[in-house]
Chain A
Amino acid sequence: METIERDYSPKGVRFFYVYKALAHPGLNGYVQPVTLEERLMHVAEAERTLGSRVEWLADNMDNELKRALGDVPNSEFVIDPDGNVVVRRNWSDPKQLRADLGELVGIVENPTSVSDLDLPRPEFAQPTVATGVVPRVRPPGRMRPVQMTPTSSKNDLPYYAKLRVEVDPAVISGGDGNMYVGFHLDPLYEVHWNNLAPQPEFAFTAIPDGVEITPASAVFPDVEVEADADPREFLLDSFLMRLQTTDVGEQLLPPLCGGRGIQIPFDDLG
């Protein structure tokens, strides 16, 4: 893509990357941003790691653009000067894109190659404390992410850690299943767990009728090392949502619980 940008920017073509919700949260340690400010931090991180000259934009925090473009992870569009789509592709294909632009604005006789560019080798954010000291939780099967609603942060502190919750797909249709609850440190804040202090805990409150959770609260066990950056994860044995109907398509239930602590909006397709 970088070579295409080098060749076609001089012909008046503008290139945009649009930063969207993470397709694979947790990969390389990155966690889903909670605020626009954090998404812009991700943009800066992407610029740093990729060394791209392409201009970055950021989707809004309602992920409107991501959804409007079909929620695929790697699409591409060419738009004409009137603002209308002339090429759309559900999976980016640089070779084909170069051909498209050749037809639209003219072929480049001596195209730039990757070896012509001095692109950096991506270096992702690395924790500076121990990792791999806390065993990871492995859900028994495929889980569905749950959207989280943020509430005010005490003292307006950043969301150093992000809450990630996933449930067994059976739960969504009104059944019984496992629930994953994980706290993931955000590497962009360069923080770690202080294991000399009490460990994180969770507690469900105001559980609505028809919902059963076992256990409804838990404290993470002590960790031997003084500091680490591993996630704090829980796998709840049972999360049962008894619904009056199996069609939960438009059904809105009240928030399950509330209180203070960490909050995160979770993209349902992220």
Chain B
Amino acid sequence: MRTTKAAFLTVVLALVLAAPAMSLAQRNRQGMGRDRGFGGPGGLAANFEAVAPAIGEPMPDVVVYDGEGTPHRLPDLLRGHYSVLIPGCLT
């Protein structure tokens, strides 16, 4: 176990106020408000319906990385076979 060498930390609060501003923009576009929940108007489910690829549409052409850190275009990984894709995380 290492001890943090940054025991005395002068913090860079590189606080980009654009972030909350953009969050609001997204909220407006996506219908998310203070009452954001999963279902119902303005909820995450509605956002999913509006944003996620529809049936018959291709998956987004974005770069993802394999476990070794090698970049791949997502569509390249999905062609030629049926695929199941599930986003997830540790929390």
Contact = CB atoms under 8 A, between A and B. Distances in A.
Interface in B44-86: 44-45, 47-60, 62-67, 69, 72, 74-75, 77-86
Interface string B1-43: 1111111111111111111111111101010001000100000
B17 A256 contact: yes
Contacts of B25: 249-250
Contacts of A14: 77-78, 81-84
B18 A43 contact: no
A56 B67 contact: yes
Contacts, number: 354
Interface size class of A (residues with CB under 8 A): 35 or more
Interface of B: 1-26, 28, 30, 34, 38, 44-45, 47-60, 62-67, 69, 72, 74-75, 77-91
27 contacts: A16-B77, A22-B91, A36-B69, A40-B65, A45-B90, A58-B66, A67-B51, A68-B62, A74-B88, A77-B83, A83-B75, A88-B54, A151-B12, A151-B14, A161-B9, A181-B11, A183-B11, A190-B2, A191-B1, A203-B13, A211-B17, A253-B17, A255-B16, A256-B13, A256-B15, A262-B11, A269-B23
